Amino acid sequence: MLKESAPTAPHECADCPIRHRAVCARCESDELELLDQIKYYRSFEAGQTLIWSGDPMDFVGSVVTGIASLTQTMEDGRTQMVGLLLPSDFVGRPGRDSAAYDVVATTNIVMCCFRKKPFEEMMVRTPHIAQRLLEMTLDELDAAREWMLVLGRKTAREKIASLIAIIARRDAALNMAGMRGPLTVDLPLTREAMADYLGLTLETVSRQVSALKKDGVIGLEGKRRVTIADFNRLLDEAGDDSDGGMLA
């Protein structure tokens, strides 16, 4: 069941932690005022389903805080996690009436939602929104292609390093921080969820995380907090170069 806005949900766009990366990033003040008229916040607890695949969607929106997973269920009941929604990621597709995937809260989550029909009308009248949504869609396509490579061609160690690097990049971009110097990020997934997402066993994930720690590539505080002393070294372990592309 949907819950009312969490106490931490921002009520002014100027206070929003994802303002510079969200679909409204390029909107002028008058455009933000129009969006504010069709905007509302919703919060979900970890483990709660935000959206069921095939259900009608009367809203679109952005993740403000927290993490959600995209999951697809096959005819025989098997499920596969096919993506992660991190802060500033867009949920829903204008022009599509139903959801393509189950969306499940991995952590407690706050969403900034827009009523779907008015948002679609605003896209026609407001180029800033349509242009930004196109950019976000192309970024999502690039990420999906990168993930195909991770799952299809990389070793278990490279998969783990790649996932940590992707999360670290997104965290740095969200906080407008550079990639130099030690980085500390909180992994949004349990070891079990990482295994599911990467197509590995739980034992393999635990073994490879421990190996990266032993080799000094990462530091660990508890199960989730990861410190990266040298991001380029992590990219080497992921099979990437310092620009984020694949090594020749």
User: Domains of the chain (ranges plus CATH)?
Assistant: 13-131 (2.60.120.10), 154-238 (1.10.10.10)
Do 228 and 209 form a contact (C-beta atoms < 8 A)?
A: no
pLDDT for the residue 15: 76
Residue 236: is its pLDDT beyond 60?
yes
pLDDT one-digit tens code per residue, 76-92: 877 778 888 988 999 98
pLDDT one-digit tens code per residue, 197-213: 888 999 999 999 999 99
- pTM over 0.75? The answer is yes
Q: Which amino acid is at 14?
A: A
Could you give the C-alpha distances from 109 to 3, 104, 131, 155, 241, in angstroms and in order?
11, 10, 26, 32, 33
Residue 3: is its pLDDT beyond 50?
no
Q: In what side-by-side order are the strands of the sheet with 59-65?
A: 39-44, 109-115, 59-65, 90-91
222 DSSP assignment? T
pLDDT for the residue 10: 60
